[in-house]
Amino acid sequence: MGKGVRTETGKLRTVMLHRPGDELRRLTPRNNDTLLFDGLPWVDRAQEEHDGFAQVLRDRGVEVLYLTQLLGETLNDGLARSRAIDLTLTDKRLGDQLRAVLRDHLGELHPDELTTVLTAGLRNDEFPTRTLVTSLLAEDDFIIDPLPNLLFTRDSSVWIGDDPAVTSLAMPARSRETQLTELIYDHHPRFADNTPIYGWDREHVEGGDVLALADGVLAIGVGERTTPAGAERLARTVLEAGLAHTVLAVPIDQQRATMHLDTVCTMVDVDAVVMYPNIAHRLSAVKVTAGPHSDHGDDLSVGELRPFLEVAAEAMGIDQLRVIDTGLDPVTAEREQWDDGNNTLAVEPRVAIAYERNTETNARLEAAGIEVIPIAGSELGSGRGGPRCMSCPVEREPLPPS
């Protein structure tokens, strides 16, 4: 068995994070909705909170990689650099005149400066050369959009087995993020032996929807972000490659509060999840396995919609997938779900990082024998994402034999 990620709870060895930076300083009350933030975070405090998150990971022996550091190193490579610039310039709002001068401008930047422009964006008033397009845009319009949601590294790639899948993000505000993750995986020396198994130009799939319930069993949420066609494409990809024997497609409500499967359910032990109580009774799943006739197009065998916990336990080969009984009243449950109470990051079985503010959910987890490592997230949480959303595991140890 190689490196990579095969489960949700195997001891975490390496994780990719993004320390929030200047891209968050671009948020205003006029653009925060489009940029998928529910408020304007106090950036310095968000950085402190994030440093706290990185520190608890390091304290547990986890190697923390930073996306911008990897990107900066990637952009030292001439090919990666020209690809990055080409991709950025495909934006149809630019026009050929601006595209040409911008190409020269970006081409002259140091890799670290280019990293900043690619992540924090470029405002019209920061770019000195006048073109027809820039003279018609407002001073504070963006020529290159900022990517404040890079913070949620979970979504722009997900490791499945030995290799990463670059995802295909549904919201326009995030679509460019995956060009950056693809560049890193394609060109950074650290990933020279890895080949992405999915691409940003494919059907929509976001990493927050992908849960490795067990080695060989993948759940894929289908809702606001991952489309049915995206789930089908990823299922086919992993089944054909032998990366999973069973995929569960899990419909979730198409609304902001439940934008990804990991906003309602995350694993805290090899056979246990913490789940938003208000939906636990109705979460269902369709089991997908390799079909018998791959040459006739019916290469997938698709089951009936059945209770999620039942299908999951069956696929995982266990008697029961336990749900930690949070026993919360519906209103407290709804408040803590909104603040990512169910979005925990397991660093090993029965040890999970969680936002400290969700006191009720955390107390119930502790009572059930789960060690909760609390982190502050009052500013980070304004982007609607918790510890699992803010982390992309790159390597987890195999689970010890049970």
Ligand X SMILES: NC(=[NH2+])NCCC[C@H](N)C(=O)O
Confirm whether 389 is a catalytic residue: yes
Pick the closer one to ligand X by CB: 249 or 261.
261
Instruction: Provide the residue type at 281 as one letter.
Output: H
Contact 257, 263 (CB under 8 A): yes
Least distance (Å) between residue 334 CB and ligand X: 16
**Residue 373, both tokens:** 């490592």
User: Given the structure tokens 């849960």, which residue do they identify?
Assistant: 211
Q: Which residues in this chain contact ligand X in the complex, by CB under 6 A? A: 36, 149, 152, 154-155, 171, 174, 208, 259-260, 262-263, 383-385, 389
Least distance (Å) between residue 124 CB and ligand X: 25
Least distance (Å) between residue 107 CB and ligand X: 31
Least distance (Å) between residue 212 CB and ligand X: 14
Residue number of the CB atom closest to ligand X: 208
Q: How far apart are CA 169 and CA 207, in angstroms?
A: 9
Least distance (Å) between residue 50 CB and ligand X: 15
Contact 110, 104 (CB under 8 A): no
SS (HEC) of the chain: CCCCECCCCCCEEEEEECCCCHHHHHCCCCCCCCCCCCCCCCHHHHHHHHHHHHHHHHHCCCEEEEHHHHHHHHCCCHHHHHHHHHHHCCCCCCCHHHHHHHHHHHHCCCHHHHHHHHHHCEEHHHCCCCCHHHHHCCCCCEEECCCHHHHCHHHHEEEEECEEEECECCCHHHCCHHHHHHHHHHHCHHHCCCCCCCCCCCCCECHHHEEEEECCEEEEEECCCCCHHHHHHHHHHHHHCCCCCEEEEEECCCCHHHCCHHHCEEEEECCEEEECHHHHCCCEEEEEEEEEEHHHCEEEEEEEEEEHHHHHHHHHCCCCCEECCCCCCHHHHHHHHHCCCCCCEEEECCEEEEECCCHHHHHHHHHCCCEEEEECCCCHHHHCCCCCCCCEEEEECCCCCC
Contact 357, 377 (CB under 8 A): yes
Tell me the backbone φ, ψ of residue 179, rounded to 5 degrees.
Answer: -65, -35
Pick the closer one to ligand X by CB: 85 or 147.
147
Annotated catalytic residue within 173, 352, 389, 390: 389
Q: How far apart are CA 46 and CA 198, in angstroms?
A: 31
Least distance (Å) between residue 22 CB and ligand X: 17
Pick the closer one to ligand X by CB: 118 or 211.
211
CB count within 10 Å of CB 395 equals 18
Least distance (Å) between residue 234 CB and ligand X: 15
Least distance (Å) between residue 30 CB and ligand X: 17
Pick the closer one to ligand X by CB: 124 or 149.
149
Q: Which residues are catalytic?
A: 389
